[in-house]
Amino acid sequence: MAAVFVIFLREGVEASMIVSILLAYLDRIGQRRHFRDVLAGVGAALLLAAGGGVAAYLTIRTYAGSRVQTIFETATYAVAAVVLTGMTLWMASHARTLSKELRARTDAAVSRGERLGLFLLAFQAVGREGLETAVFTLAIVFASGTRGALLGGSLGLALSLVIAVVVYRLGRRINLAVFFTTVGALLIVFAAGLVADTVQNLQQLGWVHVLDRPLWDTSRQLSESSALGDVFHTFVGYAARPTALQLACYLAYLAAILAAFWQRNRRHVPTVTAPAAAVSAAAGRT
């Protein structure tokens, strides 16, 4: 549940922040009539992401326990790790310019009088986060089961919406750099676990035979199927019987991606502001 909570919180904050920026800017320039276009895009994106995730889960359930399921899970782990890594590094580099980029694209759509443009802008922004969330959630469910996934996702989404409302209503400058840095680092550790799961499945499928002997066995001390073992497996990639290749890939990924993440954070020093304050500041300079 905890891993799903973090995923939904992080993705929900980013998606809702994007929507808040769009709505606040439209309100500032007197284009509230376009709210419905933005909200329609948000609704369509959520339906697509939720529908796609549910369809994928129900489809693969028909192959429970088969080699097809293992192959599908392996692909899901790999895709989730790649997307999660790219998303986290992208946010570290672009957080400071996110509001400016969205306002520029909104201006372009409004100036052309394109309601479809605003719909697609919201659809693309929220849809990307929604599809990423669906992929990550599937990876977590396949790795740890469905226990608490719905509750964790609901709590994470609810808290992210509360944060979005506070940001939009209060209109104060809010520095979210600490939030994205902390959660980003946590999700990189989570992605390292997905890398290890990918390697484990590849070895179980017989596709990789290098360094495939277990280094140790701690299943008696802490089983992966136990509540605590499940938490450690989901968050930090704990494995009771890890192979040398699993451990090597896990550590190599952590070292390389965390180094890149901290370097981008130091270089860009992201300062994400509350949408209403950002819009007011931009308007004051014009």
What is the reported pTM?
0.71
How far apart, in Å, do the first and last CA atoms of the chain sit?
A: 47
Q: How far apart are CA 100 and CA 110, in angstroms?
A: 15
Residue 30 pLDDT: 83
With CA atoms as reference, report the closest residue to 180 among 252, 102, 87, 267: 87
**Residue 168: its H or E element:** helix 149-170
- Per-10-residue mean pLDDT for the chain, 286 residues long? 74 79 81 87 89 84 80 88 84 69 79 77 82 81 69 82 71 58 82 91 92 93 82 82 95 93 70 45 38
Q: Where are the domains of the chain?
A: 2-270
- Spatial distance between the Cα atoms of 43 and 32, rounded to a whole number of angstroms: 18
Backbone angles phi and psi of 240, in degrees to 5: -70, -30
- Specify the 3-state DSSP secondary structure of 214: strand
